[in-house]
Structure 1
Amino acid sequence: MRHWVLVAAATAAVIAGALAVNPAQGTVRASRPAAPSALPSAAAPDPAKATLPLDCGPFPTAVALSFGAVLDGRPSTVVAAHCAAENGTPPDGVYLLTPGQDGRPQISATLVKPTEGLTVTELKLRSDGTITARARGYSSDEIPRYAPDLTVLLSWHHQAGGGWLRSRTTEPATKV
């Protein structure tokens, strides 16, 4: 027993001596960013101030759904938007907005391209940081754009090296 007490005392003396010669400087940093969490919309980037890559011609863009969150340690907004056309159901684009250097939100990721032809009906953040969406879509170009025949479930999980890993599940739409 006495041997272990001497070993512990010697180890403590070596560590104390090393710290006295070269004390730690700076602040302690977390090795990982804060866990993803919801963020009040007032604290998140404002999608109305963002330039979204939608080709709307003379029509304005319309934000269908959005939520604020802390993702990857930064305030972010996930937004589903489309062209505010006077008829039909224009497809949505889903974008991840983060604060830009000029104070305007910038697009840090495109999660759904409008060319995919999806109409997003639900957009959420799970407690594990996964972004989820439910959308309506079409199985072929022959399906009328007013009668989507697919329900599409999407999710995005943030990858450690950056970027978002997407998964997609498609099922027949239920008739109402």
Structure 2
Amino acid sequence: MQPSAGQHLPHTRTRGVHWISTAAALGAVVAAIALVQPADASPGKPAAAGRTPAAPVAPPDPAAATYPLDCGSGVATDVVSKVSGDLDGDGRPETAVVVRCHSDTGTPPSGVYVLSAPRTAGGAPRIAVTLVKPGDNRQISDFRLEGRSVKATVLGFSSDSVPQCCPDMSRGYSWEWRDGRYVALPGPAGNTV
């Protein structure tokens, strides 16, 4: 027989003891989960099972890379400037470099490259992208990293008659990783040195 409206069965009534025992059981489950969680786990970032935290990765060494410069037989390349950081947000550092052919006199054109980690352990860093081609006959100054942006002043020439020693044009540039590639963001044009 079913109870009529307004009647309660004795086993369906809740009492304070019932709520206290439910809260205690729930607390025990939460405590057990906290004890089982790995020590390196952090809120909002679950730890991968069986993996230890990754050691910091060294940025690519620009001295170990080969650059596409036509310096002539036996002429070395010089790394003029370098900055390192996680430029593309993948958790691994890259190195941006300004490189030119070695010269005891004069100022050869510079190239700007972003180096990524080698494809194999012990291999040489690889050029991920060329930001400034040496063939464009540019010189680079004020090379720096701001956040994840590579910034520089790019110096150039208004004509072929301007001596290589004395660029007469200047323009600030930023290069940023956007939508899976590096994007050049030029500053105002037409600045003269």
TM above 0.5, yes or no, is: yes
- Please report how far the alpha carbon of residue 126 of structure 1 lies from its aligned counterpart in structure 2 after TM superposition: 1.5
> What is the DSSP-based 3-state SS (H/G/I as helix, E as strand, rest coil) of the residue aligned with 1:48?
helix
Partner AA of 2:176 in structure 1 = H
Cα RMSD (Å): 2.1
**Unpaired runs of 5+ in structure 2?**
1-44, 48-55
Q: After TM superposition, where is structure 1 displaced by more than 6 Å over at least 4 residues in a row?
A: none
- Please report how far the alpha carbon of residue 135 of structure 1 lies from its aligned counterpart in structure 2 after TM superposition: 2.6
- Please report how far the alpha carbon of residue 152 of structure 1 lies from its aligned counterpart in structure 2 after TM superposition: 2.1
Give 2:71's aligned residue. 56
- Please report how far the alpha carbon of residue 130 of structure 1 lies from its aligned counterpart in structure 2 after TM superposition: 1.7
- Please report how far the alpha carbon of residue 28 of structure 1 lies from its aligned counterpart in structure 2 after TM superposition: 5.5
Aligned positions of 1:11-160 closer than 5 A: 43-57=58-72, 58-72=74-88, 73=90, 74-102=92-120, 103-127=123-147, 129-160=148-179
Q: Distance in 2 between matches of 1:114 and 1:28?
A: 46
**Unpaired runs of 5+ in structure 1?**
1-26, 30-39
* Residues 75, 147 of structure 1: alpha-carbon distance in 2 compared, 3 angstrom cutoff: same
Query: How many residues align structurally?
Result: 134
Give 2:23's aligned residue. none
Q: Distance in 2 between matches of 1:158 and 1:97?
A: 14
Deviates more, 1:115-124 or 1:47-56: 115-124
Give percent identity, aligned residues only.
37
